[in-house]
Structure 1
Amino acid sequence: MSEVRGVCRPATDKAHSGLGRKARPIKCDCEDGHHRKRTLTLAGDARDISSMRKSAAPPKSRPEVTFALQLPELAACGFETAGLQSMHHRTHRSAVGMVTRGRLWGKQRRQRSHLASQRKRHAHTSLDVTRRSDLNDLATPELHADSGARTRTLTRRDAWFFVMPTLFVVSTILGAVRWFSPVPFWDMWEHTVRFYADILDGRWSAFLDQANEHRILISYALFWLDYRIFGGVTVFLIAVNLCLMAALWLCLCMAARSLVGDQRRLFILCCALLAIPCFSWLQSENINWGFQSQFYLAYLLPLASLLCMASWMEAPRASRRIIWAVVLAILSAFTMANGLLALPLLVVILALGRRCTWRRVLYLIAVTIATFAAWTYHYSAVPHQSAPLKRMVEFVLIFLGGPFGLIFHSLFIAMLVGAVLIGACAFLAVQWLRGRARHPVYLALILFTAYVGAAGAAASLGRSAYGLDTAISARYETPILLLYSAILLLFIHLHRAKAATVPVVCTISIFIPLVMLSTQLDAIGPTGPEVARQKMLAALALNAGVDDREAIGRIYPQNDAIHIELIHQIAASAIAHDVSVFALPSMRMARAWVGKPVQATELVPCLGSVDAYAPLPNDPRHFQFRGWAFVAPTRRVPPIAFIVEDSQVIGAALTGIERSDVHDRIDHRATHAGFEGYGSRIGTGPLAVYCPRDDEGA
């Protein structure tokens, strides 16, 4: 049964003065789900309602009482139920107001209305509310027996709408495994490897170092945990990225519950649909790059902060929610530079909400100023190349339409979608200004879309000079996919009462996954293992001190002479501290055995050959070797092979290259027996392939 709570007072107007003391109606001041004031009339006297209790310190002239009635009892007691059906079923109100709980579906509503009309004919005067069990006995048994069945709104056919979201989630997790590499990539060399080396050297102030123009204090803490506990091979960081993706999805589901939770089927379909953009492989660079936890946090924390504030505005007595909103907004500032906007957005939502007071606004402004002051302490501005205003505008438009640009390989389509997106956001904001939607979560999502747009504008200031193609980089797709999800929820909220809304959501649930499916399948394609192998080859070059710029460019794209020297210095520091990828057994064996006589090592001959070798263009002292290796007794491919010349170990190579010829001639398990590595020639003698013993190579 749905329960209604509120506060009532006896009527004092002259229109009811002739009804007598025992027949005086009771007027109840309430609010519906749209925050509109309503006055409902209860036929009866407050003295006859024994379950009512007097509210604290009521005015003597108009004593007030509180009540808690089942919805059929309201009609039986004479409530004017006009507008009652539009009230939000989960709205929580303060002392003067009411809360409705439960769901009123069409058939159930008609049955209850019919039941209430029957009760009205039998009860025209006062009714003792304490005899609630007697009222429930009047209901037909069929009404109670079928209530559970009517709440199961999902059908068997709706299960098909969970197939594609499940595929996206599973394929993304498998993609994170297949694309995994323990080798740091790009910014990780400076801000994870060198950062932890500084910590080992006792410079704890490295936690406060800038990462370009950002303060990434939270990510630094995660990097420290990864190196301190998990060896710095980024397994922990990739797992954190997946967890942050799930947290973003949960936040959007919470927003959907607030906006469309009164329609269970629509809510569940929305949750399933939201899993597709949240776990899309379009953001692959953020998924398999351990450095990108700060990118997820820069949007997770502001979104959670806005939702906490909106939740507090719905239930102001839950004071912990506003505290959490402020804490999350403060933490947002130490994820990325755009996280500084989280606190000003809290000020805006508080000022536009119904719970605004000058004291709260001033407190929040003070916290904002203090956070900005802490963030700018010892801050060094990072210079960026400027770009014309036209290019910056184009960059923002392409940034907003990035997913479509990646899918259709067209910057024009991305720009067109970006323009449409700006128009959609403006339309949704106008709907709130006109009062069509006043839900606090609606306002929170509107402000979140503004936050993403501001992040795109900030990115255009520093990145548009590098070309418009950078606007559709995979790492930028995370905020844009969140933006699409927020806009979808806002439109669904506006049209949730229409009969066509659920079919439209079902259609979108079919169309969107099909459009994104080709990109999603890349997660489980053959590209991932090959990319991981090439990164390990670059790490082997750094481990041997070899200047192979083509290979090193795969893990540090800025492969000019200055940056190559920088990354070699960072690698030497990591080798000295025995951390990161250089602490793996294969890298340790390469450092320990290359340059020594083969008798002084634990190497044994194995099947294989060196098919080709050539000096490196930028480092003629070193050679690049290609060939294959296979351990026949154990019928396995060793992870690392060694090149021996005249009983001297001259080089090391990593296996993993597909060799169909070895598969056909030697063993079907030797498919990936091909290797590639580095070494130095000491003469012109024959080259032999050696492998570690079984216990070392495993």
Structure 2
Amino acid sequence: MLLHRLRGRARGLALVAGWVSLAFGLYVVITTCAGIVLNYSPVPFGDQWDGYLGKYLQLRLDFWDALWAPLNEHRQVLARLVFFSDVRWFGGIDLLSISVNLALCSLLVALILLILYQNLEGNAAIRLFLTGAVAAFGFSWIQWENLRRGFQIPFFAVCLFALLSFHAMVLCKQRRHSLAWLGVSIASGLGAVLSMANGLLILPLASLLAVLLRLPWRHVLVTAAIGAAAWLAYFHHAPGAQGPLSQESPLSSALRDPRHSLEFALLYLGSPIAGVAGDITKTAWWPLAAACGLLTVLGTLAGLAAMLVRGEQVRAPQFWMMAVTACGSAAITAGGRLPIGGLPGALISRYTTQALLAWIGLLLFLLVNSPRTRRALPLLLCGLAMIGIGVAQGDALRPNRTVDLVQRTAALALRNAVYDERYVAPLYPIPAHLIDIARQVRSQGIGMFGRGVPGFDDPPPRPQVDGTCPGHVDALRPTATPGKLVLEGWAWDAAHRDLPKGIVVVDGAGRTLGTGIFGRSRQDVQAALRIGERRTGWIAFADAAPGPIRVLAKTAPGRYCVIGEASAGLAK
């Protein structure tokens, strides 16, 4: 009787744990979606200038060559179709791309759950628990770089196509060597190739999976042959491609510095630890990250041993292949990125997607292939990982306003045709190249240079002034761009007890010369006016003009107030 009660209580606790895990998974999904909205920026960053706006201009000139041309070592063919559509029909401010990115992430999670449900033997409690865990891993904000910018579509696309290719190969085995599912596997592998450079791994790995599943040799050879053809086509220098695919091959780089390449790969596979720590420069966390990476490699090798020994009896080999793919990606990335970013480069957020998938893949692989009485270890490890995910998840709701202001200031300068490297450098490591692209894009009025871009004002040629507002012009300086000025100060909308919506600079005749944005912290103004808002500081860029220059604050659509006046004599 007592034993029966204890078992009943254990089942009840397991069910509670399952519901808690599911609730946590929903929390991660919801907060990540909220984080995408809160952290949204229409300002392109880094390679987005080349591969998004710059690529759109190239596609308009020579569509097919530009579609196939490499960016760094990647041929992002499928993503470029989305980027082209985003700029052409949705304004080029990342809205379509982010939506597609989120859809790919959702499909990836759904496919993992589909495979899990098909292979899991267990009660409702364990299904609830693992559903929450998969959702948490798939939508974790640890991978924030891949979530908040649509330009990262290839990261989720290559993972989705890889898993779909492996799943189709398993179905090919289960459906009596179905040629249709073999075709789906190969097509998905080609989709991975057209997403990112590490997609080249997928068809060879699908061939390996076909061997381990004891599929007919013709299936293996067809898959391998198409994979080899994809490699040849990928590394053929297409007409219109700009420069070599890389300065140094990953293999030669790894052979030149094998110890650091191995460290890089292990840190890559343990990179979610850095997401929990919140700072990739905290080297105290690196040994733990490397240890997690080593466990990932050892778990992958153990999975290989299981596949070699048990072969067709192994359940859900797709999950193991997720880890194999991550290990291969880590090795390739170590060879290509170690010379550029050093060891800290292994821990950047964009690489955590592959690591998270490797972790959950190995845990699910172990779980579905373990007897019900031996599932405690993978469930415990899964729970510990979810605690770490929860620690980092709060960052989704805390946008980095300092970084956002720096990038919006750079964008503001470019919108006002100010090409001063002091202001625009935060958007791209080579400012001269950025300025060249920005000039071309600005002339087309697309992307962040269009009208109605969130975070930037489009004032009329002669704004209508309705009185004055508290504020001051603290500084007026020339920029490195001839005939362009930068102004700084503060302002407050006393009538509405709110921060003004924007800044407009006009000349003595009331003609618009430039625009500005708020966001600078002014605690002195906050204390003097006794208000709760501290970001009353503004910066503006404008054309130089003879005579006095007035600065207006936007208080409502079409309504402005004067906050100060300056003249060329104030410039220093």
Amino acid at match of 2:384: F
Q: Does 2:447 correspond to 1:584?
A: no
Which position in structure 1 is the counterpart of 2:305? 430
Aligned equivalents of 2:36, 2:455: Cα separation in 1: 26
Query: Which one of the candidate residues 225, 234, 239 is aligned to 1:366?
Result: 225
Q: Deviations over 1:77-110 (max 9, x none)?
A: xxxxxxxxxxxxxxxxxxxxxxxxxxxxxx9xxx
Q: SS of the counterpart of 1:675?
A: strand
Amino acid at match of 1:552: V
Which position in structure 1 is the counterpart of 2:171? 311
Aligned equivalents of 1:463, 1:155: Cα separation in 2: 45
8 A Cα contact 1:425 1:446, kept in partner: yes
8 A Cα contact 1:311 1:441, kept in partner: no
Gap change, CA 1:439 and 1:268, over 3 Å in 2: farther
Gap change, CA 1:660 and 1:395, over 3 Å in 2: same
Which position in structure 2 is the counterpart of 1:609? 471
**What is the TM-score of this pair, normalised by structure 2?**
0.84
- Map 1:457-536 → 2, pairs under 5 A: 457-466=331-340, 467-498=342-373, 500-501=374-375, 503-504=376-377, 507-508=380-381, 510-527=383-400, 529-536=401-408
Gap change, CA 1:164 and 1:576, over 3 Å in 2: same
8 A Cα contact 2:473 2:551, kept in partner: no
Q: Does 2:434 correspond to 1:567?
A: yes
8 A Cα contact 1:194 1:570, kept in partner: yes
Aligned equivalents of 2:86, 2:169: Cα separation in 1: 32
Q: SS of the counterpart of 2:106?
A: helix
Gap change, CA 1:645 and 1:659, over 3 Å in 2: same
Show structure 2 runs of 5+ residues with no match.
5-10, 239-243, 561-572
Query: Which one of the candidate residues 328, 334, 337 is aligned to 1:454?
Result: 328
Which position in structure 1 is the counterpart of 2:247? 383
CA-CA distance at 1:291 after TM superposition: 1.0
Aligned equivalents of 2:517, 2:551: Cα separation in 1: 15
Gap change, CA 1:592 and 1:155, over 3 Å in 2: closer
CA-CA distance at 1:631 after TM superposition: 4.6
Which position in structure 1 is the counterpart of 2:418? 546
8 A Cα contact 1:636 1:669, kept in partner: no
Amino acid at match of 1:584: R
Aligned equivalents of 2:296, 2:177: Cα separation in 1: 37
8 A Cα contact 1:197 1:577, kept in partner: no
Q: In percent, how many aligned pairs have the same letter?
A: 22
Aligned equivalents of 1:575, 1:302: Cα separation in 2: 38
Q: SS of the counterpart of 1:677?
A: strand
Aligned equivalents of 1:248, 1:277: Cα separation in 2: 11
Aligned equivalents of 1:180, 1:388: Cα separation in 2: 39
Q: Give the root-mean-square deviation of aligned CA atoms.
A: 3.2
Gap change, CA 1:609 and 1:643, over 3 Å in 2: farther
Q: Does 2:513 correspond to 1:654?
A: no
Amino acid at match of 2:371: R
Aligned equivalents of 2:505, 2:217: Cα separation in 1: 76
CA-CA distance at 1:402 after TM superposition: 1.3
8 A Cα contact 1:656 1:675, kept in partner: yes
8 A Cα contact 2:162 2:202, kept in partner: yes
Q: SS of the counterpart of 1:382?
A: coil
Aligned equivalents of 1:574, 1:608: Cα separation in 2: 37
Gap change, CA 1:158 and 1:192, over 3 Å in 2: closer
Q: SS of the counterpart of 1:691?
A: strand
Show structure 1 runs of 5+ residues with no match.
1-106, 108-150
Which of these two proteins has the greater Rg computed from alpha carbons?
1
Gap change, CA 1:481 and 1:315, over 3 Å in 2: same
8 A Cα contact 1:586 1:639, kept in partner: no
Gap change, CA 1:606 and 1:478, over 3 Å in 2: farther
Aligned equivalents of 1:432, 1:208: Cα separation in 2: 37
Which position in structure 1 is the counterpart of 2:287? 412
Aligned equivalents of 1:402, 1:588: Cα separation in 2: 33
Query: Which one of the candidate residues 107, 114, 118 is aligned to 1:258?
Result: 118
Q: Deviations over 1:164-194 (max 9, x none)?
A: 2122111111110111000111111111111
Which position in structure 2 is the counterpart of 1:177? 37
Q: Does 2:216 correspond to 1:357?
A: yes
Aligned equivalents of 2:297, 2:454: Cα separation in 1: 51
Gap change, CA 1:514 and 1:210, over 3 Å in 2: same
Q: Deviations over 1:594-637 (max 9, x none)?
A: xx8xxx45555541423422537856864432223345556654
Amino acid at match of 1:554: P
Aligned equivalents of 1:639, 1:690: Cα separation in 2: 7
Gap change, CA 1:252 and 1:616, over 3 Å in 2: farther
Aligned equivalents of 1:365, 1:507: Cα separation in 2: 39
Q: SS of the counterpart of 1:446?
A: helix
Which position in structure 2 is the counterpart of 1:51? none
Aligned equivalents of 1:374, 1:578: Cα separation in 2: 36
Amino acid at match of 2:354: P
Aligned equivalents of 2:15, 2:145: Cα separation in 1: 37
Aligned equivalents of 2:179, 2:64: Cα separation in 1: 36
CA-CA distance at 1:223 after TM superposition: 0.2
Gap change, CA 1:155 and 1:610, over 3 Å in 2: same
Q: Select the structure that is richer in helix.
A: 2
Q: Deviations over 1:497-533 (max 9, x none)?
A: 31x52x5565445433322333211110142x44334
